[in-house]
Amino acid sequence: MKIWVMLFTLAIFAGGTCLGVAVDRTYLKPPSPRVENPRGHHREELSVTHLVRQLGLSEAQDRELDLLLGETQRDVEAYQRAIRDRYERSRERIMAMLSEEQKKKLEDLKAAEDKKHQEEEIERSLRFYTRLLELDEAKTAALRAILVDVRAKRREFFKKDTPGEDYSKIRPFLQDLKEEQNRRFQEILTPEQYKRYLEFESWKH
C-alpha cells in the first residue's frame, strides 16, 4: 500500500519536475564552516570548482572537465526524460478515470502543494541567512522578496526541456542568476554582512 501511495504521489504531484535539475560544477560542494545550512544540518563537502583551484588544473583540463560534465548532463537528461514520460503516462491514465470535479480538486491540491514546497524552501534559506548575517526583520523581508523572484526565474528556466547539447546555456544562466542575486543582496546588506555572505557563498562554489 505504501508503494502505491508513493507512486501515485510522484505521478500526480511531482510529474517529473522534481527530477529536472541540471548537472553543474557546484553540485559537489566545498568545505564549509560549521554553520547550519538551509536544510537544517551540517555538511562538509567539496565543489568541482574548489578542486580545480586546489589541484591547479590547466585550462585544457578545465575545458575537458566541462566536456565531461556535458556528457554527464546528457546522460542524466535522457534518464530524467524516460522517468518523466513514464510518470506522465501514469498521470494521464489517472486523470482519465476522474470526473471533471475530481480533476479540478486534484489540480487545486497540486497547486497548493507546489506553493507550500516553494515557500518552505525559501523559509529555510531565510532562517539560515538570518542567523549567518544577523539580519533584522526589514532585511529579512527584503531578502525574501529577492529569493522569491530568483527562484521563480530558475523554475521558469528549468520548466523547458533543455537538451544536452544546450548544456552551454545552463551554466551561464545559473551564473548570471547568481550574480543578479548577489547584486540585489549587496543593495540590502551592510558591507560587513555582504562580505560574510560572499565568504560563505565562495565555499559553496
Please write the tens of the pLDDT for every residue from 12-62: 555 444 444 444 444 333 334 444 444 444 443 455 666 677 788 888 888
Q: Does residue 6 or residue 20 have the better pLDDT?
A: 6
Task: List all residues 6 or more positions away from 81 whose beta carbon is below 8 Å from its beta carbon.
Answer: 161
Q: Which of 95-104, 108-117, 167-176 has the lowest mean pLDDT?
A: 167-176
Whether residue 11 contacts residue 87, with contact meaning beta carbons closer than 8 Å, is answered with yes
What are 64-112's pLDDT values in tens digits?
887 888 888 888 888 888 888 888 888 888 888 889 999 898 888 888 8
Q: Does residue 158 or residue 6 have the better pLDDT?
A: 158
- Per-residue cell: 28: 559537489
**What's the pLDDT band for 138 if we cut at 50, 70, 90?**
very high
Cα 4 from chain centre: 27
**What's the pLDDT band for 7 if we cut at 50, 70, 90?**
low
Looking at residue 204, its pLDDT comes to: 61
Q: Does residue 203 or residue 132 have the better pLDDT?
A: 132
Whether residue 159 contacts residue 171, with contact meaning beta carbons closer than 8 Å, is answered with no
For 115, which DSSP code? H
